[in-house]
Structure 1
Amino acid sequence: MELILWRHAEAEAGDIDQPDAARALTPKGQKQAAKMAEWLDRVLPNTCRVLTSPTTRTVQTASALGRKFKIMPHLGPDSTAEEVLEAAHWPTSREPVLIVGHQPFLGQIAALLITGQRDEWTLRKGAICWIAQRVKDETDANFIRAVMGPDLVGK
């Protein structure tokens, strides 16, 4: 299985009058999302399922990809790594899954799948971490296929 973790791009700062879930992407965030989406669209298989948190900033980030996506209410900012892995059907899904979400759960998933330990890794805004699994000598092994930030994918 392949799991691509995409942190939402830069969003507006929160304020008292606006719920966190309503925070939209900044102009810089829109550019970050567009740059990463262009790269992802070139490299993602057509069969990739795209799942996103219901927040405005994650939906805007996912929309930049121009592919169908499913909004998953239980993938919000307070989700756990285990909830997200369950939604992605890790490790049994036959198709790649792209999760558009939040810190800290994206970093926690990356740490857990790569090291087998719970840890607090950080994915920068707009960045992806692509994790793949292979079977070698009858043992499942997870590895990082790519880590990419929007500042590294063209202009």
Structure 2
Amino acid sequence: MHLILWRHAEAEDGRDDLARALTARGQHEAQRSAAWLKDQLRERPVRVLASQARRAQQTALAFTPQFGIDPRLNPDVPAASYLAAAGWPHADTAVLLVGHQPTLGWLASLLLAGTELDWDVRKSGVWWLEYHPGGGMQARLDAVYAPS
């Protein structure tokens, strides 16, 4: 299974966290990351899920208009929530999750190092993981992309 973690791009400040929209810079970053993802995925089937936050949905939209919205990817959820949404490690297609810090960093460290650490996934950054059989939740890091 391929699990692709994509942090939403730069967003406006605001009190209603789920309503915050991408800035102009964020839209540009999302387009750059989406172009890289499209090039890497080419004709590989992928299921795309975004949180209920507007900024995550706008980021996903840069890649495809066909994405699901899943509250298990909302801000401030545990890493296990993202794993459940993705169907890790048994999904039959690649899964692209558009979500938030610090959960994305916790998830990447859990799958790569075996424990949740405060790893930084930059805005509009992509971490591409692949399930590596051998017990537990082991993964291999295939690629990291940052639009800057």
Check whether TM > 0.5.
yes
Deviation at 1:23, TM superposition (A): 0.5
Equivalent residue for 2:82? 84
SS in 2 for 1:24: coil
Paired with 2:128 and 2:46, the residues of 1 have a C-alpha distance of: 12
Establish whether residue 42 from structure 1 lines up as the match of residue 13 from structure 2: no
- Give TM-score scaled by structure 1 length: 0.89
2:16 partner letter: P
| RMSD after superposition | 1.2
Larger Rg over CA atoms: 1
How many residue pairs were aligned? Answer: 145
Matches for 1:4-83 after TM superposition, within 5 Å: 4-14=4-14, 18-44=15-41, 45-83=43-81
2:77 partner letter: S
| Unaligned ranges ≥5, structure 1 | none
Paired with 1:59 and 1:10, the residues of 2 have a C-alpha distance of: 13
- Which shows bigger deviation, 37-46 or 88-97? 37-46
Paired with 1:74 and 1:83, the residues of 2 have a C-alpha distance of: 5
Equivalent residue for 2:125? 127
2:116 to 118, 121, 129: 118
Paired with 2:65 and 2:73, the residues of 1 have a C-alpha distance of: 19
Deviation at 1:80, TM superposition (A): 1.1
Which runs of at least 4 in structure 1 moved beyond 3 Å after TM superposition? Answer: none
| Unaligned ranges ≥5, structure 2 | none
- Give TM-score scaled by structure 2 length: 0.93
- Which shows bigger deviation, 78-87 or 2-11? 78-87
